[in-house]
Amino acid sequence: EVQLVESGGGLVQPGGSLRLSCGASGFTFSNYAMSWVRQAPGKGLEWVSVISASGVTNYADSVRGRFTISRDSSENTLYLQMNSLRAEDTAVYYCARASGSGMGSGYYKTNWGQGTLVTVSS
């Protein structure tokens, strides 16, 4: 059974940093692209970032230059390093597994974690 478990969320001050982790099990982690998607309180889903199985990355404009996605296949873990955090980054952050290894057209998110809440506030 595919399982994704996020951790690392919490309360951080504006301008601060946080690193989220997503532990994966039940599948060959190194074979799949992985994504982060966030949801502000009471709002819709917002795609944040993706990393292919080979390590190619892409970001939403709203986080580019501040967030860094990475993966460690030896630990079966996905990461999201978040720097220069702003109030508008407050959200539940979900990791999701893609249907394949790349970032090309057609890949969709087959499995999601339960999410971890990040609150940016002074």
Partner 1 sequence: DIQMTQSPSSLSASVGDRVTITCRASQSISNYLNWYQQKPGKAPNLLIYAASSLQSGVPSRFSGSGSGTDFTLSISSLQPEDFATYYCQQSYITPRTFGQGTKVEIK
Q: Whole-number minimum distance, CB 54 to partner 1, in Å?
A: 15
Closest alpha carbon to 96 in 18, 27, 44, 42: 27
Q: Whole-number minimum distance, CB 17 to partner 1, in Å?
A: 23
Contact residue for partner 1 among 1, 44, 65, 122 (CB under 8 A):
44
Contact residue for partner 1 among 3, 17, 114, 121 (CB under 8 A):
114
Asked if 112 touches partner 1 (CB under 8 A), the answer is yes
Asked if 45 touches partner 1 (CB under 8 A), the answer is yes
User: What Rg, from alpha-carbon coordinates, does the chain have?
Assistant: 13
Cα-to-chain-centroid distance, residue 13? 20
Asked if 58 touches partner 1 (CB under 8 A), the answer is yes
Torsion of CA 75, 50, 30, 70, to 10 degrees: -30
With beta carbons less than 8 A apart as the criterion, state whether 57 and 63 touch. no
Nearer to partner 1, 44 or 74 (CB): 44
Closest alpha carbon to 6 in 117, 91, 119, 116: 116
Give me the residues that bind partner 1 (CB under 8 A), please.
35, 37, 44-47, 50, 58, 60-61, 94, 99, 103, 105-110, 112-115
